[in-house]
Amino acid sequence: MTSVDLFSKDFQSNPYLSYAQLRQDAPVYHVSGPMGSEIWLITRYEDARAALADSRFSKDPKRAPQWAKMMAAGVGDEGPLGANMLNSDPPDHTRQRRLISMAFTRRRIDLLRPRVQEITDELIAAMATKSEVDLITALAYPLPITVICELLGIPGEDRDDFGTWTRMLLASPMTKEGVESRRQGNQNMDRYLTDLVSKLRAEVDPDLDYDAQPNMLSALIVPGKADQLSERELLGMIKLLLVAGHETTVNLIGNGTVALLRHPDQIQLLRDRPELMPAAIDELLRYDGPIERVPMRFTTEDIEIAGVTIPEGSAVNIVLAAADRDPTRFDAPDRLDIAREENPHIAFGHGIHYCIGAPLARIEGQIAFRALLDNFPNMALACPPEELDWRIGGPNIMRGLGSLPLALNR
């Protein structure tokens, strides 16, 4: 009988064998979740992609009373990140995403390339003075947190606090300690952001249009917009952008580096053919992406998938990590192939909740990996792969490393 412990250390270190078993034997799988809750997992590619675009799967936890009760006991009815477009349905989602999309246009993100390169160069220069580093603290974390904070308008001296609060917010809710950590991280972040928004409101120039504002936060609080975010939505949106805007790139750089180092032929191919970098980023996203399972969705009616009926009011996890290794969609899915020609992965989701920051994450990944390959041709893992510190968080929404020791000149 198929059995999966979602919260074990062994599972988090390598969930792919278990997900392969689920795809084959139980593609729609009922499992115990945090704090006595129950979750349905969807693991096959076609089912997952269809579910991501199916409006019968709501983002409103009130659709699932058991889940809503659990969240209220931990961090509030709307979850650790509060009210935002990630846990909203239309029409609220449509209004919120339209506002944020104005700041995440492809043109605006492309304009960030020089600054991303500058930050990366500074971090790489600091790494070059050492023989061994923790890649997470040396590059993977400071690069995206600096970029997203500058984009939002968060003072530089406060960025480390957000890293601490994010880790608290993403603590596993399986224990009382984890629940308390999530609550404290949420309170700390809310308190800081409330004060910051109040300060910015006093300084914002209402005569400047959206694009002319000095940062995204100032743009979002310009008075007089008909579709302006409420105070509750504003705080939730800032938290979402801060957490999702850096945590995904942290994991992309960390997971991707491990994947490449364990496939030296692929590193050499990328050095020989630098034009493959965009395709390599997509393959790293597919192979061991930064988001293991999308945040919870909730059924608004009984839904049948793969011959299994998921009852109305159920909490559902769509497993991106499993779907992106489905052999019915990807040739040799367990092989890292940076020259893969067809790669319709769903590492950034699909449908109306597709990750709005995906273009920025791709740029950060391309620049970071290019810098690592160019500056450290002999870099290697400084510990056995089985000793890597895979984190369990979210619960299991994010997939990433707590640390990544690298020897730079081995």
pLDDT tens digits along 307-350: 999 999 999 999 999 999 999 999 999 999 999 999 999 999 99
Report, as an integer, the average pLDDT of 283-302: 95
Q: How far apart are CA 207 and CA 215, in angstroms?
A: 15
Going by C-alpha positions, the residue among 255, 218, 262 that lies closest to residue 369 is: 255
pTM for this entry: 0.91
Does residue 284 surpass a pLDDT of 70?
yes
pLDDT by residue (tens digit) across 64-103?
Answer: 877 766 666 555 555 656 778 888 899 999 988 988 887 6
What pLDDT shows up at residue 409? 83
What pLDDT shows up at residue 78? 55
What pLDDT shows up at residue 182? 81
Going by C-alpha positions, the residue among 256, 257, 318 that lies closest to residue 283 is: 256
**Cis, bond preceding 91 (omega within 30 deg of 0):** yes
**Average pLDDT over the chain, rounded to an integer:** 88
CA distances from residue 10 to 96, 239, 292, 294 in whole angstroms, order as listed: 39, 30, 15, 21
Residue carrying structure tokens 């904070």: 149
Report, as an integer, the average pLDDT of 164-169: 82
Report, as an integer, the average pLDDT of 105-128: 91
Does residue 5 surpass a pLDDT of 90?
no
- State the CATH architecture for 9-407: Orthogonal Bundle (1.10)
Does residue 1 surpass a pLDDT of 60?
no
Query: Which residues are CB-neighbours of 116 under 8 A, at least 6 positions away?
Result: 143, 147, 363, 364, 367
Q: Does 356 or 7 have the greater pLDDT score?
A: 356
Q: How far apart are CA 394 and CA 136, in angstroms?
A: 18
- Output DSSP code: residue 140: I
What pLDDT shows up at residue 224? 60
Does residue 286 sit in helix, strand or coil?
helix
Task: Let me know: does 61 contact 71? Beta carbons within 8 Å.
Answer: yes
Does residue 290 surpass a pLDDT of 70?
yes
Q: How far apart are CA 161 and CA 171, in angstroms?
A: 16
Report, as an integer, the average pLDDT of 278-283: 98
Report, as an integer, the average pLDDT of 286-294: 95
Does residue 401 sit in helix, strand or coil?
strand
Does residue 177 surpass a pLDDT of 70?
yes
What pLDDT shows up at residue 361? 94
Q: What does residue 135 show for φ and ψ, rounded to 5 degrees?
A: -60, -30
Task: Let me know: does 152 contact 164? Beta carbons within 8 Å.
Answer: no
Residue carrying structure tokens 């100032």: 218
Residue carrying structure tokens 């000149």: 409
pLDDT by residue (tens digit) across 127-155?
Answer: 999 999 999 999 999 999 999 998 888 88
CA 260 to chain centre: 20
Rounded percentage of the chain residues whose pLDDT exceeds 70: 90
Does residue 383 sit in helix, strand or coil?
coil
pLDDT by residue (tens digit) across 222-275?
Answer: 766 556 788 888 888 888 888 888 889 999 999 999 999 999 999 999 999 999
Does residue 404 surpass a pLDDT of 90?
yes
Torsion of CA 3, 259, 363, 50, to 10 degrees: -30
Query: Which residues are CB-neighbours of 91 under 8 A, at least 6 positions away?
Result: none
What pLDDT shows up at residue 383? 94
Q: Is the torsion defined by CA of 45, 47, 53, 59 positive or negative?
A: negative
Task: Let me know: does 79 contact 362? Beta carbons within 8 Å.
Answer: no
pLDDT by residue (tens digit) across 180-190?
Answer: 888 888 889 88
What pLDDT shows up at residue 132? 97
Q: What is the gyration radius of the CA atoms in the chain, in angstroms? A: 21
- Output DSSP code: residue 346: -
Q: How far apart are CA 246 and CA 142, in angstroms?
A: 9
